[in-house]
């Protein structure tokens, strides 16, 4: 380090899910090291899943993340059903999509208002922000509560819902719960549209970078539960080929594995999804997006907050569409699957991006091997690259405190869920 | 002066803190009555701050966490563990008994970069705990009720009834009798209001063992229904592996 060398340490990253830290070394006008240090202890899920029945898997993997348990349940049932040769019918697909809409609304509303907005508006926490911006906070909490309500109506509770089983739901609600839910969702559509406009009106830094985006792509839906894995590089593959194209590797400063595509860091999550799937938005949502005046595809991570708002509006519109004419419950109820010795793959769009599961089962349906790749692990390398480039452009001669705040803000654009990211291990390691 | 509250996180999924972050207007109202001195996920970071009430989420699973929980205890007047991880190890305690070192070495390219204790344990194994809230996750209702009591100087009361009793009160059809589902309701502490039986499936024990547990009777029933020993063991060794009554049942039932 030169005489002018200095280091910035953020020992505990605030307003992220889980435990992370940031370490930056600066020499003159260059960053010589930028580590997003993830020290959340590994919980070794992939190992203790071994020997468990496929029926236990959705309840277990939900515990990887309290903020996006449905994502884990959805990718798990997709992989289990793939292994056992079960294809969900249209009713089950619709009910699962409705459940997922609840999680997207809850998770995105929480991030926009409780985690991200304090950065933009200059507060330490939502508790301070609520004094100055009561109607903004109130709107956010209302949308978050509505997302949670969808989850609770379908799953019994919003964190670790209980009705998702391989092959279908254990039970589904009747009109006494669905009718008021439909009314509440319909009444919130305008609120969601306003939220899109509000996020676009915020003073967001113009910081464009070059990186590939990765998301699911479905023939006619905005992707949630199914699709092929697509990238802005032109890649488009079935879920079962994920591991052939995406490489995981370990770095010393993180208990979560990093990921790369053809040697490069890449982005998953709302901004990547929107960049790849704008043509799948229903017209009112596409109009709300166009009205922001922001050019998409966008390669500015600060616009992630706008992408999240667009996806709240999308998820709410989808929830209304499904609830306006709820499909019959009976065909969506869980039925016994026929376990067999097989491998299955599942990939769904968690609020933070693609979540990949692979399981190998024995003939009795017991897990022999599991592999889970969460979105935040995949975004780690991109987050570090983004923060490095953004800080250098921001100006390294600024005071440490300003640099620290800006770096944290860039990291938060990714809504990192560190609890998710660290609970995974590579299944096989070849040592020489 | 408002009481100082700290929310600490150890090995967990963050789901129990959501009881606060999902509380909406109730969270803002609570913030009027208490002073959050540490709550990293909400944006307030002062892990070493002194607190009148400390909520602890997560199990203790690394040497660093073992040292940190002692510091938290020293700086907290009243310490409440929240959730299955903090009170009973959580799912990650399923590694206890396995060779965790070998697991790490078998799966990380560089196991020397990973620091992990052989076992993930409940907080009470390390420090005195003043009160515990069970559940996976704890609910907003439980956490608000806790503050309601503590802010009035009332000692919060432990839960004594079981999921099975709550299920009867709710008027659900018994899933064991009508569907032959293996249900942990008779031996599990209430707190969810019999959520799973209400959704047509057996209880899987999120709230840990009830005050009185007749595991032997339940195991006898399951065995008569044709459940094998490994399935019995897995049923008790699930969300709360380090809860003594369930640990014993898993050991005895799985033999």
**Best mutation target, B63, B82, B91, to test chain A (most A CBs within 10 A):** B91
Residue A252 in contact with partner chain B when CB distance is under 8 A: yes
* ipTM of this predicted structure: 0.97
Closest CA to A106 of B121, B157, B136, B15: B15
> What are the chain B neighbours of A110 within 8 Å (beta carbons)?
21-22
Give the mean model confidence (pLDDT) for residues B139-161.
95
Mean pLDDT for all residues in chain B: 94
**Residue B102: how many other CB atoms lie within 10 Å:** 11
Q: Looking at residues B134-158, what average pLDDT do you find?
A: 96
Residues with pLDDT less than 50, chain A: 1-3, 423-432
Q: Is A17's Cβ below 8 Å from some Cβ in B?
A: yes
> What pLDDT, on a 0 to 100 scale, did the predictor assign at position A215?
98
Distance from CA of B83 to the nearest CA of A (A): 12
Please write the tens of the pLDDT for every residue from B93-137.
999 988 878 888 766 778 888 888 999 999 999 999 999 999 999
DSSP letters along chain B, please? Answer: -PPEEEEEE-BS-STTTHHHHT-THHHHHHHHHSEEEEEGGGTB--TT--EEEEEEESBB-SHHHHHHHHHHHHTEEEEEEEHHHHHH--GGGGGBTB-HHHHHHHH-S-GGG----S--B-GGGTS--SEEE--SSPPHHHHHHHHHHHTTTPPPPPP--BHHHHHHHHTPPPHHHHH-----GGGBB-SSSSHHHHTTS----TT-B-SS--HHHHHHHHHHTT--HHHHHHHHSSS-TT-HHHHHHHHHHT-
Which domains does chain B possess? 4-150 (3.40.50.700), 163-253 (no CATH)
Contacts with A250 from chain B: Cβ below 8 Å:
108-110, 113
Domains (ranges, CATH) in chain A? 45-378 (1.10.645.10)
Residue A422 pLDDT: 54
pLDDT per position as a tens digit, B24-74:
999 999 999 999 999 999 989 899 999 999 999 999 999 999 999 999 999
pLDDT of A431: 25
Q: Are B177 and B197 in contact (CB under 8 A)?
A: no
The answer to whether the CB atoms of B234 and A53 lie below 8 A apart is yes
Q: What is the pLDDT of residue B106?
A: 66
Residues of B in contact with A160 (CB under 8 A): 15, 136-137, 206
Mutation site, A14, A15, A44, A409, interface B, largest B CB count within 10 A:
A44
- Nearest by CB: A48 against B18, B45, B95: B95
pTM of the model: 0.95
Average pLDDT over residues B175-198: 96
Determine the 3-state secondary structure of A177 from DSSP: helix
Q: In chain B, which residues have their Cβ closer than 8 Å to the Cβ of A42?
A: 104, 114, 116
Residue B255: pLDDT over 90: no
Q: Which of A356, A348, A303, A357 has the alpha carbon at shortest distance from A57?
A: A357
Pairing of the two strands B76-82 and B131-133: parallel
The minimal CB distance from A66 to the residues B14, B114, B195 is found for: B14
């Amino acid at each position: 380090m030169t005489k002018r060398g200095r280091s910035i340490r953020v020992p505990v990253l605030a307003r992220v899910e889980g435990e992370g830290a940031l370490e930056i070394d600066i020499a003159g006008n260059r960053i010589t090291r930028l580590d997003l240090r993830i020290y959340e202890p590994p919980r070794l899920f992939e190992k203790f899943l071994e020997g468990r029945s496929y029926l236990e898997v959705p309840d277990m993997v939900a515990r990887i993340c309290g903020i996006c348990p449905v994502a884990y349940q959805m990718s798990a049932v997709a992989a289990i059903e793939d292994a056992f040769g079960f294809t969900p019918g249209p009713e089950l697909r619709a009910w699962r999509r409705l459940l997922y809409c609840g999680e997207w609304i809850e998770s995105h509303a929480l991030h926009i208002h409780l985690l991200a907005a304090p950065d933009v508006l200059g507060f330490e926490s939502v508790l301070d922000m609520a004094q100055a911006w009561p109607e903004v906070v109130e709107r956010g909490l209302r949308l978050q509560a509505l997302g949670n309500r969808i989850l609770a109506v379908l799953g019994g509770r919003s964190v670790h819902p209980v009705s998702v089983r391989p092959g279908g739901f254990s039970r589904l609600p009747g009109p006494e719960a669905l009718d008021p839910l439909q009314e509440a969702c319909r009444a919130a559509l305008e609120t969601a549209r306003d939220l899109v406009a509000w996020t676009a009106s915020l003073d967001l830094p113009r910081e464009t970078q070059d990186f590939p985006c990765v998301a699911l792509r479905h023939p006619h839906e905005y992707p949630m539960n199914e699709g092929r894995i697509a990238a802005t590089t032109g890649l488009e593959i079935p879920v079962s080929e994920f591991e052939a194209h995406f490489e995981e590797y370990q770095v010393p400063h993180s208990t979560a594995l990093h990921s790369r595509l053809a040697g490069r860091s890449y982005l998953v999550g709302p901004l990547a999804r929107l960049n790849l799937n704008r043509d799948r938005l229903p017209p009112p949502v596409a109009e709300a997006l166009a009205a922001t005046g922001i050019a998409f595809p966008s390669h500015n991570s600060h616009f992630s907050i706008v992408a999240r708002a667009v996806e709240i509006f999308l998820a709410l519109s989808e929830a209304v569409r499904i609830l306006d004419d709820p499909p019959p419950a009976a065909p969506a109820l869980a039925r016994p699957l026929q376990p067999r010795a097989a491998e299955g793959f599942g990939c769904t769009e968690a609020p933070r991006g693609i979540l990949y599961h692979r399981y190998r089962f024995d003939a009795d349906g017991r897990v022999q091997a599991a592999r889970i790749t969460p979105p935040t692990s995949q975004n780690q390398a991109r987050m570090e690259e983004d923060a490095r480039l953004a800080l250098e452009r921001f100006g390294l001669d600024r005071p440490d405190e300003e640099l620290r705040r800006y770096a944290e803000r860039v990291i938060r654009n990714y809504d990192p869920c560190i609890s998710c990211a660290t609970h995974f291990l590579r299944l096989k390691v070849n040592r020489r | 002066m408002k009481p100082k509250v700290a929310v600490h996180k150890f090995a967990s999924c963050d789901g129990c803190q959501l009881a606060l972050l999902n509380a909406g207007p109730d969270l803002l109202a609570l913030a009027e009555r208490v002073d959050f001195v540490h709550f990293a996920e909400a944006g307030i970071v002062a892990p070493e701050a002194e607190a009148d009430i400390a909520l602890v989420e997560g199990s203790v699973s690394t040497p660093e966490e073992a040292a940190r929980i002692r510091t938290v205890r020293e700086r907290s007047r009243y310490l409440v563990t929240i959730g299955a991880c903090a009170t009973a190890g959580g799912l990650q305690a399923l590694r206890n008994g396995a060779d965790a070192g070998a697991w790490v070495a078998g799966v990380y390219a560089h196991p020397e970069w990973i620091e992990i204790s052989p076992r993930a344990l409940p907080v009470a194994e390390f420090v005195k705990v003043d009160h515990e809230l069970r559940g996976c996750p704890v609910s907003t209702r439980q956490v608000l009720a806790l503050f309601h009591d503590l802010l009035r100087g009332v000692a919060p009361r432990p839960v004594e009834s079981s999921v099975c009793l709550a299920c009867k009160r709710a008027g659900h059809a018994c899933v064991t009798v009508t569907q032959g589902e293996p249900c942990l309701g008779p031996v599990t502490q209430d707190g969810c209001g019999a959520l799973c039986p209400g959704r047509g499936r057996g209880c899987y024990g999120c709230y840990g063992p009830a005050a009185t547990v007749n595991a032997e009777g339940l195991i006898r029933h399951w065995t008569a229904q044709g459940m094998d020993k490994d399935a019995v063991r897995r049923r008790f060794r699930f969300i709360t592996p380090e809860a003594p009554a369930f640990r014993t049942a898993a050991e005895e039932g799985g033999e």
